Amino acid sequence: MSGPLLEIEELSVSFPSDAGALPAVRSVGFAIAPGQTVALVGESGSGKSVTALAAMGLLPPSTRVSGSVRFEGRELLRLAPSELRKVRGGSIAMVFQEPMTSLNPVLRIGRQIEEVLALHRGFDAVRARAEAIELLGHVGIASPERRVDQYPHELSGGMKQRVMLAMAVAGRPKLLIADEPTTALDVTIQAQILKLLRTLCREQNMALLLITHDFGIVAHFAEQVNVMYGGKIVERAPVVPLFASPSHPYTRALLAAMPRAELGRARLEAIPGRVPALDQMPAGCPFAPRCKLAFDRCVEMPPLSRVLGDSTGQHVACWAVETETT
């Protein structure tokens, strides 16, 4: 099969407010091939999660979403609610940042997994329970036949995230969206969960959209990387050229801000300023106020995404890079 699994084009999201519509995501587009792992990287508030939620149709009804999100050629943004429900959990599953609060506190974890199995795979109660135990064991939970009857508060954070993963893969989705799946966990458990995530993706040939702000995770996992800033994708590249020659000043600044062993006790780079608030988005390039290379045109006009000449598949939206290379 050819063609991408998920294709997002010109996706814009804005939240209504008293001061007018606030644009959270602006003309974002990227694609994910079957089985591929794509990362969406950026600071808090850059629109990563909103992009994912918009694609799933999970934003509140007052939000204005435009553009196109196609999954296996079907337009998700204009799908009937009943059809969309089949896609959610069945074809696309999502894992959230906070395992502590993402499980229903009053239901046994087994019930919550069985619910997905009954809904998306039509299992009866007996089969669903057997499969739930099987799944819990598969995501690395010891003595699953006892854990299945426990309540979320009896599990640790790492275990809860494992349960969330079990629920997510229970519907055999083709795409898993993981929204900062390890941010709330200890470093040691982060590594375990990421490993599990990779194993699950490989076994089921599941594509993964990994939302994170951790370039370490990106380097290990992603094949394709989208760097987001101020609601826009500022740079898109395969993982190797991105790390070898980051082009956008924001990507460079982010990479420079990563602690590295070889730097020793040298002072860590920081990006001055912070992500602009939604109601104060600059007219030009969103990064211009914090960019070292910014000049007049950056402030006046938003740069368009251009392919870099050296056939590495890097796309960059930056006036400075454009004038540099031409």
Candidate segments 23-31, 147-155, 241-249, 269-277, binder of other proteins by CB under 8 A: 147-155
Give 102 or 305: the residue with its C-beta nearer to other proteins. 102
Smallest distance, other proteins to C-beta of residue 70, A: 18
Q: How far apart are CA 51 and CA 209, in angstroms?
A: 11
Among residues 63, 68, 150, 312, which is the contact residue for other proteins, using CB under 8 A? 150
Residue 180's closest CA among 39, 277, 63? 39
- CA distances, 31 to each of 5, 39, 60, 207 (Å): 7, 11, 24, 11
Smallest distance, other proteins to C-beta of residue 128, A: 14
| HSE-up of residue 87 (Cα within 13 Å, Cβ side) | 24
Residue 92's closest CA among 50, 57, 41, 127? 57
Smallest distance, other proteins to C-beta of residue 285, A: 32
Among residues 44, 66, 143, 323, which is the contact residue for other proteins, using CB under 8 A? 143
Candidate segments 19-27, 157-165, 206-214, 216-224, binder of other proteins by CB under 8 A: 157-165
Contact 234, 287 (CB under 8 A): yes
Contact 285, 319 (CB under 8 A): yes
Contacts of 86 (CB under 8 A, 6+ apart): 120
Smallest distance, other proteins to C-beta of residue 108, A: 9
- CA distances, 88 to each of 53, 83, 253, 304, 324 (Å): 11, 9, 36, 33, 44
Give 25 or 164: the residue with its C-beta nearer to other proteins. 164
Q: Which of residues 64-123 bind other proteins (CB under 8 A)?
A: 84-90, 93-94, 96, 98, 101-107, 115-116, 119-120
Instruction: Provide the token pair at 43.
Output: 């600071």
- CA distances, 289 to each of 51, 138, 236 (Å): 23, 48, 21
Instruction: Provide the token pair at 56.
Output: 């799933």
Q: Does 154 interact with other proteins (rule: CB under 8 A)?
A: yes
Among residues 2, 62, 280, 326, which is the contact residue for other proteins, using CB under 8 A? 62
Q: Which of residues 245-264 bind other proteins (CB under 8 A)?
A: none
Smallest distance, other proteins to C-beta of residue 110, A: 13
Among residues 40, 56, 288, 308, which is the contact residue for other proteins, using CB under 8 A? 56
Give 151 or 243: the residue with its C-beta nearer to other proteins. 151
Candidate segments 19-27, 137-145, 216-224, 313-321, binder of other proteins by CB under 8 A: 137-145
Q: Which of residues 168-207 bind other proteins (CB under 8 A)?
A: 168, 171, 188-189, 192
Instruction: Outline where DSSP puts E strands in the chain.
Output: 6-15, 22-32, 37-41, 64-71, 74-75, 92-95, 175-179, 207-212, 224-229, 232-238, 306-307, 315-316
Among residues 142, 244, 266, 270, which is the contact residue for other proteins, using CB under 8 A? 142
Q: How far apart are CA 120 and CA 172, in angstroms?
A: 9
Binding site for other proteins (CB under 8 A): 56, 58, 60-62, 84-90, 93-94, 96, 98, 101-107, 115-116, 119-120, 140-143, 146-147, 149-151, 154, 156-159, 162, 164, 167-168, 171, 188-189, 192
